[in-house]
Chains A and B, each alone.
Chain A
Amino acid sequence: MTVKTFFYGLIASFGVPWLVMLVVPYGSMRSMEPVRYDEINDERTDLFQAKRSGRTSNGSLVYAQEGCAMCHSQVTRPSYAGVDVFREGQGGTKSHPERGDTRRITHAWDFEREDRAHIGEARIGPDLGNFGNRLAALEVSENEATAVAMGVKIVKEDKSRLTQKEIIAALGDKAFDKELYLYKHLYNPREEGLNDPGDENAWSVCQSNPQFFKKVGNFGQGAATAVDVKDGQQVVANDRCKSLVNYLINLKKDGAVPYAMQYAKNKKKAGK
């Protein structure tokens, strides 16, 4: 083996996989073909457009810098790679009040608003790909429970139910506050009664994040978002925390997609 043949060999053996695994897919994924809705199954024929609203990159960056991806994944794998779809709440839910079965695997458009897809290292904590949806569902059930406890009638005389808006209006500042819930989780995930009153959360190994909170003076009534009182001062979330929480609330990967991409519907049709 001469030095020359050696280097030709190296360039070939490295260059081919470099192109095939890295360069070409990188280029082709940048310019993905949009998926067209299917006339028969979707009853529409326009092009599928992933929703793009709001900038999440700030929160996404905080998520990366704080290493949340070390313990949390954000992907619902197809069934060849795991049972993710069947885990309630991970890829969507089996019985959404309005949309029915929303479960599906993650697709490439789910990450359109992010610079980096936080697929994740390990699942020491739960998958967060659809955390925003779980949180929204939690909000509904918490609000209803509070309403019942406060004696607000959820079912009206004409048998129709109050809408969420009406319930929230009725509850006033007793309504479930998603942000505050997350601030509390990030401040101390092991606080007792964090999820439900009396609920022991001591087993959680989610990290507590003192870096997200600052102490401010005590303003009479107290800021609505204070998570704690320390040395007579209130502890409130800082900007990094707010953008992270905003990001977490918007983590949704169950939006309707064309038939061809939908996992659960595929199954249902096949079963029929």
Chain B
Amino acid sequence: MSTITSPVLEDTKLRADIDRSLRHPVMFFFASGAVWLAISLLLGTMASIKTHAPDFMSCCSFLNYGRTMPAHMSALIYGWGAQAAFGVIIWLMSRLSRQECKKSGIILAAGHWWNLMVAIGTVCVLSGSGTGVVWMAFPQAIMISLVLTYFFIGIWAVIAFRVRRGGHIYISQWYLLAALFWFPWVVISGLMFGQLFLGDGDALMVTASTAWFRSALMFLFFTPVAAASAYYIAPKVTGRPVYSYHLAIFGFWALAIVGPWTGMDRMMGAPIPAFMQFLSAGAAVLLVVPAIALFINIIKTAASNKDALAHSPSLRFTVAGAMGMLIFTLMGAVMSLPSALKYTQFSIAQYGLELTGLLGFFSMCMFGAIYFIVPRITNREWISAKMISLHFWLFIYGIVFIAIFYTFLGGFMHGYALEQVGESIMASSGRLYPYAIGLTTGFVFLLFAIFMFCCHLLFMWLRLGRRSNHPTLLSSHSPSMPHGPEGDLDKLEPMDSNQVAH
């Protein structure tokens, strides 16, 4: 191989080596994550059906709303969310730090253990031995095991960063580092105050800390990972630098400063110190700031190369995710205004908002990353542009429908009914009915979308992808291919398009 002397070729080889070293763990995280996403959506559909047709399969107590709902959320968070995030974190961190992963075996083993834990946890919740706390429904022992497993996964990304080659630290790396740092702190705090000290502390603060945990996980783990992915994909695919590096850094610190204050607004009116409730409500409004920063940056970067935007599935999902982030935080802000919180605190709006954030924002960004990463690590191209396109549109229909119809209209309608002194629970149930059916409809769209995605991804895992140099684009034959001229995956990279703009 002495012929390889040019730095460009060396670079390409390094990237290929990194990709190869990570193929198994990353592919495992993505594929099993996708399966968990499907399971979670099935459980969510089941729960949703129960709110308008409560006798549907009521012979089976494990399908009761009170069990499927927490199981659905837990599978979504630990099964899909965390695993997709892990896959993106380790791949992205290795790529940006230009380091091969030498311990992929350990990561893979930890990944298997993680899946086992999530599976046992889900079965526990469904069989009525969960904790009943929505984002932490798994029994305590499972949660502890998950945290420990995390260290075996996350540590390699930190090590890759420590021994990084090349001086510059990209904005994505900052986001990833922060996520790696926040995740254990948030989960361990939530676990300690919400479960381990149970019976020893104050019942209300136990509940309050789980409320805090929920939004901390959303804003200090899922959000930074999604942002890191977006800040990588957008410049990479367009071949243009990030629109504004300063704005990106500003957005990061805005998130870091505002994020940890959120969550207690779910306890509004409960007998915990009132300042906490109002601080959180205020923080929920301020979260719009980092969202706008991300949105402007990603949209501006993507818009700099219209061809790429039209053709690249990764970019399309990422841009949709950035819009999702903006919509999610705007909705959250409106819902947390003290005058609106009256209506939304105990209405279906809160659940709808969580779905909007986790699916419309985080998952969208993860899909973008997965469509980018998988061809590289498997050395095969996606099989069908049609399937990608169907996945995209069905998912968009589903989540937009849930966000607008269920969360916003339904949430306020339900909340309004709850706030009418004279209105009985029968009347508010009546008002809820159409929106409950709406949610099931939304879920059906999502299920079809995820079915497409899952099958596609599993085929890729089996290495049934196309052997081709031409990436799968959403419309064929464009003059300038978004993944590089003539579809060479890595041609663009020597320009280092993730480079910053100053």
Q: Which residues of B contact A112 (CB under 8 A)?
A: 203
Q: Which residue of A lies closest to B54 (CB)?
A: A205
Q: Which residues of A contact B66 (CB under 8 A)?
A: 66-68, 70-71, 207
Q: Is B438 an interface residue (CB 8 A)?
A: no
Whether A125 pairs with B425 at a CB distance below 8 angstroms is yes
Q: Which residues of A contact B299 (CB under 8 A)?
A: none
Whether B260 pairs with A13 at a CB distance below 8 angstroms is yes
Q: Which residues of B contact A210 (CB under 8 A)?
A: 58-61
Whether B260 pairs with A107 at a CB distance below 8 angstroms is no
Q: Which residues of A contact B8 (CB under 8 A)?
A: none
Q: Which residues of A contact B58 (CB under 8 A)?
A: 207-208, 210
Chain A positions 102-118 with a Cβ under 8 Å from a chain B Cβ: 105-108, 110-112, 114-118
* Alpha-carbon distance A26/B430, docked complex (angstroms): 39
* Alpha-carbon distance A210/B57, docked complex (angstroms): 11
* Alpha-carbon distance A154/B279, docked complex (angstroms): 55
Whether A124 pairs with B432 at a CB distance below 8 angstroms is yes
Q: Is A155 an interface residue (CB 8 A)?
A: no
Whether A25 pairs with B208 at a CB distance below 8 angstroms is yes
Whether B201 pairs with A30 at a CB distance below 8 angstroms is yes
Q: Is B106 an interface residue (CB 8 A)?
A: no
Identify which of B203, B207, B264, B351 gathers the most chain A CB atoms within 10 Å of its CB. B203
Whether B350 pairs with A57 at a CB distance below 8 angstroms is no
* Alpha-carbon distance A112/B271, docked complex (angstroms): 12
User: Contact mask B419-446 → A, CB, 8 Å, 1/0?
Assistant: 1110001101110100000000000000
Q: Which residues of A contact B61 (CB under 8 A)?
A: 209-211
Whether B276 pairs with A65 at a CB distance below 8 angstroms is no
User: Contact mask B43-78 → A, CB, 8 Å, 1/0?
Assistant: 000000011101100111100111101100000000
Whether B199 pairs with A57 at a CB distance below 8 angstroms is yes
Given contacts A115-B198, A116-B203, whether A108 and B271 have CB atoms under 8 Å apart is: yes
Q: Which residues of B contact A7 (CB under 8 A)?
A: 181
Q: Which residue of A lies closest to B162 (CB)?
A: A3
* Alpha-carbon distance A126/B425, docked complex (angstroms): 6
* Alpha-carbon distance A227/B7, docked complex (angstroms): 80
Q: Is A264 an interface residue (CB 8 A)?
A: no
User: Contact mask A65-108 → B, CB, 8 Å, 1/0?
Assistant: 11111110101011011111011000000000000000001111
Residue among A13, A118, A122 making CB contact with B256, cutoff 8 Å:
A13
Whether B131 pairs with A65 at a CB distance below 8 angstroms is yes
* Alpha-carbon distance A120/B67, docked complex (angstroms): 14
Q: Which residues of B contact A124 (CB under 8 A)?
A: 51, 348, 429, 432
Given contacts A81-B342, A116-B203, whether A9 and B55 have CB atoms under 8 Å apart is: no
Whether B264 pairs with A205 at a CB distance below 8 angstroms is no
Whether A71 pairs with B204 at a CB distance below 8 angstroms is no
Residue among A22, A66, A87 making CB contact with B193, cutoff 8 Å:
A22
Q: Which residues of B contact A21 (CB under 8 A)?
A: 212, 260-261, 263-264, 276, 279-280
Main secondary structure of the interface of A (DSSP, over half): loop
Q: Which residues of A contact B64 (CB under 8 A)?
A: 66-67, 207-209, 211
User: Contact mask B266-283 → A, CB, 8 Å, 1/0?
Assistant: 111111110011011000
Whether B212 pairs with A22 at a CB distance below 8 angstroms is yes
Q: Is B157 an interface residue (CB 8 A)?
A: no
Q: Is B301 an interface residue (CB 8 A)?
A: no
Q: Which residues of B contact A18 (CB under 8 A)?
A: 185, 189, 260
Whether A1 pairs with B249 at a CB distance below 8 angstroms is yes
* Alpha-carbon distance A269/B346, docked complex (angstroms): 31
Whether B128 pairs with A203 at a CB distance below 8 angstroms is no
Chain A positions 1-32 with a Cβ under 8 Å from a chain B Cβ: 1, 3, 6-7, 9-10, 13-14, 17-18, 21-22, 25-26, 29-30, 32
Residue among B67, B206, B212, B261 making CB contact with A66, cutoff 8 Å:
B67
* Alpha-carbon distance A211/B60, docked complex (angstroms): 8
Given contacts A81-B269, A205-B54, whether A65 and B128 have CB atoms under 8 Å apart is: yes
Q: Which residues of A contact B209 (CB under 8 A)?
A: 22, 26
Given contacts A207-B50, A209-B61, whether A122 and B55 have CB atoms under 8 Å apart is: no
Given contacts A18-B260, A26-B193, A67-B70, whether A111 and B203 have CB atoms under 8 Å apart is: yes
Chain B positions 174-190 with a Cβ under 8 Å from a chain A Cβ: 174, 177-178, 181-182, 185, 189
A-B contact count (CB 8 A): 209
Q: Which residues of B contact A125 (CB under 8 A)?
A: 425
Q: Which residues of B contact A67 (CB under 8 A)?
A: 64-67, 69-70, 132
Whether B54 pairs with A204 at a CB distance below 8 angstroms is yes
User: Contact mask A141-159 → B, CB, 8 Å, 1/0?
Assistant: 0000000000000000000
Whether B269 pairs with A77 at a CB distance below 8 angstroms is yes
Residue among B132, B272, B345 making CB contact with A82, cutoff 8 Å:
B345
* Alpha-carbon distance A194/B450, docked complex (angstroms): 42
Given contacts A77-B269, A204-B54, whether A10 and B198 have CB atoms under 8 Å apart is: no
Q: Is B334 an interface residue (CB 8 A)?
A: no
Given contacts A1-B249, A22-B209, whether A107 and B271 have CB atoms under 8 Å apart is: yes
* Alpha-carbon distance A207/B69, docked complex (angstroms): 12
Q: Is B487 an interface residue (CB 8 A)?
A: no
Expressed in whole angstroms, the minimum distance between the Cβ of A153 and any Cβ of chain B is 34
Chain A positions 50-73 with a Cβ under 8 Å from a chain B Cβ: 57, 63-71, 73
Q: Which residues of A contact B169 (CB under 8 A)?
A: 1, 3
Q: Which residue of B lies closest to A73 (CB)?
A: B346
Identify which of A17, A66, A75, A84 gathers the most chain B CB atoms within 10 Å of its CB. A17
Whether B182 pairs with A14 at a CB distance below 8 angstroms is yes
Whether B419 pairs with A66 at a CB distance below 8 angstroms is no
Q: Is B253 an interface residue (CB 8 A)?
A: yes
* Alpha-carbon distance A64/B269, docked complex (angstroms): 21
Q: Which residues of B contact A111 (CB under 8 A)?
A: 202-204
* Alpha-carbon distance A10/B185, docked complex (angstroms): 12
Q: Is A170 an interface residue (CB 8 A)?
A: no
Whether A81 pairs with B182 at a CB distance below 8 angstroms is no
Expressed in whole angstroms, the minimum distance between the Cβ of B428 and any Cβ of chain A is 8
Whether B202 pairs with A32 at a CB distance below 8 angstroms is yes
Q: Which residues of B contact A81 (CB under 8 A)?
A: 268-269, 277, 338, 341-342, 345
Given contacts A65-B129, A115-B198, 7 further A-B pairs with CB under 8 A are A1-B174, A29-B272, A67-B69, A71-B65, A208-B64, A210-B61, A211-B128
Pull 11 A–B residue pairs with CB atoms less than 8 Å apart, ordered by A.
Answer: A32-B202, A57-B199, A64-B131, A66-B132, A77-B268, A81-B268, A111-B202, A117-B206, A119-B266, A205-B65, A209-B64
Residues of B participating in the A interface, judged by any CB pair closer than 8 Å:
50-52, 54-55, 58-61, 64-67, 69-70, 128-134, 169, 174, 177-178, 181-182, 185, 189, 193, 198-199, 201-209, 212, 220, 249, 253, 256-257, 260-261, 263-264, 266-273, 276-277, 279-280, 338, 341-342, 345-348, 350-351, 418-421, 425-426, 428-430, 432
Q: Which 4 interchain pairs have the tightest Cβ spacing?
A: A67-B66, A77-B269, A81-B269, A64-B132
Residues of A participating in the B interface, judged by any CB pair closer than 8 Å:
1, 3, 6-7, 9-10, 13-14, 17-18, 21-22, 25-26, 29-30, 32, 57, 63-71, 73, 75, 77-78, 80-84, 86-87, 105-108, 110-112, 114-126, 189-190, 203-211
